[in-house]
């Protein structure tokens, strides 16, 4: 493959499902990863890094499933510089239409000495061996020197040259600890372009972390210096302060094409959908003033700005909300809408549900339409999100009656179906949410830690659905549950039960003996 030095096309490598999932609390199950991968494909990313197959069975399954499902994008699996890691990644990628093995090893003095406890010569040899081994398995191999931005230049040049000679088609330079600043990082890429003799045989990629808030700036500076792949994540999810945000990279390239004459294959109108899905699944709220996807990114509050906007949108808007898929909430259907129209709407919103799930979603839509005057697309999405993949749940919500208010004690009367049988209980608590969660614990005794309880309104208005996220932790493993309803307490109960069911599935996979409640 020849280097794209003359081309202005930047390859977008999304690592939401790998580096993004490494954010504490952001763990996702197989179905959730599959849904995100589907949206990434719709978004038009070139490469989806689906996981680190040797790290866990969950990661292995995700890479395998996504490899089998995704057809348009390349699917990458991460591997350390060992045959075992690489073979496991290759096994996971066996059904992929366009597989890529991404192998890495640390090259900075600090990492080699303390983390790897290896001499530079041994690291150099490991690069030659691991990349050659990966190339024996797969045509498309990417190599990364971890902590590349803090690697000594002569050594980095030697390592890059060796990786390319051994068959790496993409060489990715990570700023692993988010230490670089734009000019310096651009100079590093330019140095590699100038000094590595076989650099034209590979695409140079960058992978920037956001510890100093410079991940996007560093990535764009690197593109200016010759990098033609950018590794990034939706909403900037990722280790510690996260990775470069995909939406910011892509919209900067599009909006400032005059200054940054590069293009991507991204369908920018899917950005908002992807952002919302990742936020809902992980429970990581997007800060309101976050660029591109924050709730205020296109809001104009001050009178002067609103006046300017009315006269000419260009006065205060450098991109249109439509260009990132942010449309005014669309009124979908009312209580007279039929099954057929509902099914069509599900298709339009990107859901592909089995007959039973459609029936259940339709029943809930009718309930909602009875309670809520206007039903929007967002309502349907929240409602279906609350339904998808839950047919095998051991614990199912039946009904909830809560006494709340200032006099107390707050009391919850709860009915749940557990393993097919309906159980009822009454519990009190310090507030209605506490009473509801206590009632769940009475019906299904368990010891877990509630790490996060978060509510947000799906649409405007006091009749809006509440979408609740609950994060539970058990033995260091976390799961997120979601629930939606016009009653915040019902949504809370659904979210808690969702998380609990996920924890039970997780326990079942790791230790079948621990299944009793
Ligand atoms: O940050 C990093 O260095 C990484 C590598 C595995 C590419 O995530
Ligand atoms: Zn990283």
Give the DSSP letter string of 130-174: HHHHHHHH-S-EEEEEETGGGS-HHHHHHHHHHHHHHT-SEEEEE
pLDDT in tens, 399-438: 999 999 999 899 999 999 999 999 999 999 999 999 999 9
Identify whether residues 348 and 308 lie together within a single domain: no
In angstroms, the CA 203 to CA 163 distance is 12
Which atom of ligand 1 is nearest the CA belonging to 146?
3
Identify whether residues 377 and 399 lie together within a single domain: no
What is the whole-number distance in angstroms between the Cα of residue 103 and the centre of ligand 1?
A: 10
Within its chain, how far is the Cα of 167 from the centroid? 30
Least confident among 230-244, 362-376, 438-452, 475-489: 362-376
287 lies in some domain: no
3-state secondary structure of 173: strand
What is the whole-number distance in angstroms between the Cα of residue 156 and the centre of ligand 1?
A: 15
Domain-ending residue, one of 369, 388, 407: 388
Q: Count H helices and E strands in the chain, helices first.
A: 16, 16
3-state secondary structure of 3: coil
pLDDT exceeds cutoff 90 at 25 = no
Q: What pTM does this model have?
A: 0.88
Looking at beta carbons, which pairs linking 447-455 to residues 24 or more positions away fall under 8 Å? 447/474, 448/472, 448/473, 448/474, 448/500, 448/503, 449/473, 449/474, 451/25, 451/478, 452/25, 452/283, 452/480, 453/492, 454/283, 454/285, 455/488, 455/491, 455/492
Domain-ending residue, one of 388, 404, 419: 388
212 lies in some domain: yes
Identify whether residues 430 and 380 lie together within a single domain: no
Is the Cβ–Cβ distance between 138 and 96 less than 8 Å?
A: no
pLDDT in tens, 71-129: 999 999 999 999 999 999 999 999 999 999 999 999 999 999 999 999 999 999 999 99
Looking at beta carbons, which pairs linking 362-365 to residues 24 or more positions away fall under 8 Å? 365/333, 365/337
Identify whether residues 333 and 311 lie together within a single domain: no
Within its chain, how far is the Cα of 156 from the centroid? 31
The reported pLDDT for the residue numbered 4 is 44
In angstroms, the CA 77 to CA 61 distance is 11
Least confident among 66-80, 97-111, 181-195, 270-284: 270-284
The reported pLDDT for the residue numbered 253 is 98
What is the whole-number distance in angstroms between the Cα of residue 414 and the centre of ligand 1?
A: 47
Task: Please tell me if the CB atom of residue 49 comes closer than 6 angstroms to any atom of ligand 1.
Answer: no
Task: Please tell me if the CB atom of residue 150 comes closer than 6 angstroms to any atom of ligand 1.
Answer: no
The reported pLDDT for the residue numbered 353 is 84
Task: Please tell me if the CB atom of residue 23 comes closer than 6 angstroms to any atom of ligand 1.
Answer: no
Identify whether residues 374 and 497 lie together within a single domain: no
What is the whole-number distance in angstroms between the Cα of residue 240 and the centre of ligand 2?
A: 10
What is the whole-number distance in angstroms between the Cα of residue 263 and the centre of ligand 1?
A: 24
Average pLDDT over residues 187-213: 98
Least confident among 93-107, 210-224, 258-272, 282-296: 282-296
Which atom of ligand 1 is nearest the CA belonging to 172?
7
More confident residue, 68 or 356: 68
302 lies in some domain: yes
Least confident among 239-248, 277-286, 409-418: 277-286
Identify whether residues 365 and 314 lie together within a single domain: no
In angstroms, the CA 387 to CA 390 distance is 6
What's the total number of domains in the chain?
4
Least confident among 63-77, 331-345, 435-449, 460-474: 331-345
Domain-ending residue, one of 340, 368, 388: 388
Task: Please tell me if the CB atom of residue 390 comes closer than 6 angstroms to any atom of ligand 1.
Answer: no
Query: Ligand 1, atom 1: nearest CA belongs to which residue?
Result: 176
Query: What's the distance, Cα to Cα, between the start and end of the chain in Å?
Result: 56
Task: Please tell me if the CB atom of residue 146 comes closer than 6 angstroms to any atom of ligand 1.
Answer: yes
User: Ligand 1: which of 55, 101, 207 to mutate, judged by most atoms within 8 Å of the beta carbon?
Assistant: 207
Whether residue 242 is preceded by a cis peptide bond, meaning omega within 30 degrees of 0, is: no
Residue whose entry in the numeric block shows the structure tokens 């890059």? 160
The reported pLDDT for the residue numbered 516 is 29
3-state secondary structure of 105: strand
28 lies in some domain: yes
The reported pLDDT for the residue numbered 129 is 98
Identify whether residues 147 and 229 lie together within a single domain: yes
- How does the average pLDDT of the chain come out, rounded? 92
Residue whose entry in the numeric block shows the structure tokens 């097919």? 420
In angstroms, the CA 234 to CA 243 distance is 9
126: number of CA atoms within 13 Å, CB side?
Answer: 22
What is the whole-number distance in angstroms between the Cα of residue 253 and the centre of ligand 2?
A: 22
In angstroms, the CA 219 to CA 355 distance is 45
510 lies in some domain: no
pLDDT exceeds cutoff 90 at 295 = no
434 lies in some domain: yes
- When pLDDT is cut at 50, 70 and 90, the band that residue 513 belongs to is very low
293 lies in some domain: no
In angstroms, the CA 388 to CA 393 distance is 11
Here the CATH number for the domain that contains residue 454 is 3.30.160.270
The reported pLDDT for the residue numbered 510 is 60
pLDDT exceeds cutoff 60 at 329 = no
Query: Ligand 1, atom 8: nearest CA belongs to which residue?
Result: 19
Identify whether residues 16 and 109 lie together within a single domain: yes
Identify whether residues 451 and 372 lie together within a single domain: no
Element (H or E) spanning 339, and its range?
helix 339-348
Helix/strand/coil (H/E/C) assignment for every residue in 420-487:
CEEEEEEEEECCHHHHHHHHHHHHCCCCCEEEEEEEEECCCCCCCCEEEEEEEEECCEEEEEEEEECC
More confident residue, 264 or 349: 264
Q: In what order do the strands lie in the sheet with 421-429?
A: 395-403, 410-418, 421-429
pLDDT exceeds cutoff 90 at 508 = no
Nearest ligand to the CA atom of 55: 1
The reported pLDDT for the residue numbered 328 is 53
In angstroms, the CA 96 to CA 74 distance is 8
Q: What are phi and psi of 66, to 5 degrees?
A: -70, -40
Is the Cβ–Cβ distance between 416 and 403 less than 8 Å?
A: no
Average pLDDT over residues 44-52: 98
Here the CATH number for the domain that contains residue 181 is 3.20.20.70
Task: Please tell me if the CB atom of residue 19 comes closer than 6 angstroms to any atom of ligand 1.
Answer: yes
* Residue 353 structural domain: 329-388
Identify whether residues 316 and 338 lie together within a single domain: no
Identify whether residues 31 and 68 lie together within a single domain: yes
User: DSSP class of residue 198?
Assistant: T
Task: Please tell me if the CB atom of residue 18 comes closer than 6 angstroms to any atom of ligand 1.
Answer: no
Nearest ligand to the CA atom of 144: 1
User: DSSP class of residue 287?
Assistant: P
Nearest ligand to the CA atom of 177: 1
pLDDT in tens, 125-178: 999 999 999 999 999 999 999 999 999 999 999 999 999 999 999 999 999 999
For residues 377-405, one letter each, b for 16 or more C-beta atoms within 10 angstroms of the residue's C-beta and e for the rest, the string is bbbbbbbbbbbbbbeebbbbbeebebeee
* CB-based contacts of 64, cutoff 8 Å, min separation 6: 53, 92, 93, 94, 95
Instruction: Count CB neighbours of 506 within 10 A.
Output: 18
Residue whose entry in the numeric block shows the structure tokens 């690697």? 151
What is the whole-number distance in angstroms between the Cα of residue 472 and the centre of ligand 2?
A: 25
253 lies in some domain: yes
Query: Ligand 1, atom 5: nearest CA belongs to which residue?
Result: 146
Task: Please tell me if the CB atom of residue 480 comes closer than 6 angstroms to any atom of ligand 1.
Answer: no
User: Ligand 1: which of 146, 168, 177, 232 to mutate, judged by most atoms within 8 Å of the beta carbon?
Assistant: 146
pLDDT exceeds cutoff 90 at 36 = yes
Task: Please tell me if the CB atom of residue 59 comes closer than 6 angstroms to any atom of ligand 1.
Answer: no
Identify whether residues 70 and 213 lie together within a single domain: yes
In angstroms, the CA 253 to CA 323 distance is 13
pLDDT exceeds cutoff 90 at 27 = no
Is the Cβ–Cβ distance between 250 and 257 less than 8 Å?
A: no
């Amino acid at each position: 493959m020849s280097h794209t030095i003359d081309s202005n096309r930047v390859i977008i490598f999304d690592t939401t499902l790998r580096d993004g999932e490494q954010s504490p609390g952001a763990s996702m199950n197989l179905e959730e990863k599959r849904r995100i991968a589907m949206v990434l494909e719709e978004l038009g990313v070139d490469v989806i890094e689906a996981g680190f197959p040797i790290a866990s069975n969950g990661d292995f399954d995700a890479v395998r499933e996504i490899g089998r499902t995704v057809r348009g994008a390349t699917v990458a699996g991460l591997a350390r510089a060992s045959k075992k890691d690489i073979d496991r990644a290759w096994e996971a990628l066996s059904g992929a239409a366009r597989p890529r093995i991404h192998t890495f090893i640390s090259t900075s003095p600090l990492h080699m000495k303390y983390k790897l406890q290896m001499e530079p010569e041994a690291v150099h040899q490991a690069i030659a061996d691991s990349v050659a081994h990966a190339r024996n398995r797969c045509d498309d191999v990417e190599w990364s020197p971890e902590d590349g931005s803090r690697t000594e230049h002569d050594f980095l040049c030697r390592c890059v040259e060796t990786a390319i000679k051994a068959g790496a088609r993409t060489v990715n330079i990570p700023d692993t600890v988010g230490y670089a600043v734009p000019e310096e990082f651009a100079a590093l890429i330019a140095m590699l372009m100038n000094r590595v003799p076989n650099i034209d045989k590979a695409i140079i990629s960058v992978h920037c972390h956001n510890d100093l808030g410079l991940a996007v700036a560093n990535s764009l500076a690197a593109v200016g210096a010759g990098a033609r792949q950018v590794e990034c994540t939706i909403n900037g999810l990722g280790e510690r302060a996260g990775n470069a945000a995909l939406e910011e990279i892509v919209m900067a390239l599009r909006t400032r094409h005059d200054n940054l004459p590069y293009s991507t294959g991204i369908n920018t109108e899917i950005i908002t959908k992807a952002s919302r899905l990742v936020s809902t699944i992980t429970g990581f709220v997007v800060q309101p003033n976050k660029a591109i996807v924050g709730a205020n990114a296109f809001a104009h509050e001050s009178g002067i700005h609103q006046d300017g906007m009315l006269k000419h949108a260009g006065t205060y808007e450098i991109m249109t909300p439509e260009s990132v898929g942010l449309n005014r909430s669309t009124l979908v259907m009312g209580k007279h809408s039929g099954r057929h129209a509902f099914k069509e709407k599900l298709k339009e919103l990107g859901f592909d549900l089995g007959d039973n799930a459609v029936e259940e979603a339709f029943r809930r839509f009718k309930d909602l339409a009875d309670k809520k005057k206007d039903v929007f697309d967002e309502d349907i999405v929240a409602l279906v999100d609350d339904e998808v993949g839950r047919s095998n749940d051991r614990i199912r919500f039946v009904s909830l009656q809560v006494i709340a208010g200032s006099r107390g004690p707050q009391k919850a009367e709860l009915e749940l179906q557990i393993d097919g049988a309906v159980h009822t209980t009454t519990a009190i608590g310090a507030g209605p949410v506490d009473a509801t969660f206590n009632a769940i614990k009475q019906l299904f005794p368990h010891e877990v830690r509630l790490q996060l309880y978060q509510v947000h309104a799906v649409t405007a208005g006091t009749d809006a659905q509440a979408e609740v996220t609950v994060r539970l932790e058990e033995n260091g493993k976390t799961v997120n549950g979601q629930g939606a309803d016009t009653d915040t307490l019902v949504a809370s109960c659904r979210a808690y039960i969702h998380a609990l069911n996920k924890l039970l599935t997780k326990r079942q996979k790791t230790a079948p003996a621990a299944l009793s409640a």
